[in-house]
Copies of this chain bind each other. A is one copy, B any other.
Amino acid sequence: MSDATLKAMAERFLSALQHCQLLQMRVAQANADGITLVLPWSPAIVGNPQTGAVHGGALTTLMDTTCGMATLCVLPRFEVCPTLDLRIDYMHPAEAGKAIYGHAQCYRVTRDVIFTRGTAYQDDPAQPICQVVGTFMRLGQQIKGGIRFGNSLKEGGA
């Protein structure tokens, strides 16, 4: 799959998640090595109005989604991959007023389960806000509507 095709599929996938749309999340980059999403700064992600500190839930959603979508980078075709487990460790707080990037890649792919890891950062990927490890179940294309949902994604249907 070309990087452009992969990025287009990732954008269609993300656009179907209302929850992520509210947060204005976008795909920044996607290729065989991994995926990067952006969470722009907005009132919707502020957890503490006095300080502008980000609500943990917004960051968690960013990283859950980023790790889950990293599975697109290693699968030949779209498959539904629900989260099996997710661990987030915050290294330092996000700075108010700046977009947050989430990057993730797959480090192990089995017939049923995909293992991913990633980080969130603002200016410098080497100074991560958090590091994340997540595991996702491959349901296959034929299971539970996988193929049809997959097709609609590839063909640009909602």
Contacts and interface: CB of A to CB of B under 8 A. Distances in A.
A144 B16 contact: no
B87 A85 contact: yes
Most B Cβ at <10 Å: residue of A48, A57, A64: A57
Interface residues of A, number: 55
A55 B16 CA distance: 11
A144 B51 contact: yes
A57 B64 contact: yes
Nearest to A107: B91
A64 to B, nearest CB: 5
Interface of A: 16-20, 22-23, 43-45, 47-51, 53, 55-61, 64-65, 68, 80, 82-91, 93, 107-108, 110-113, 115, 117, 131, 133, 135, 137, 144-145, 148-149, 158
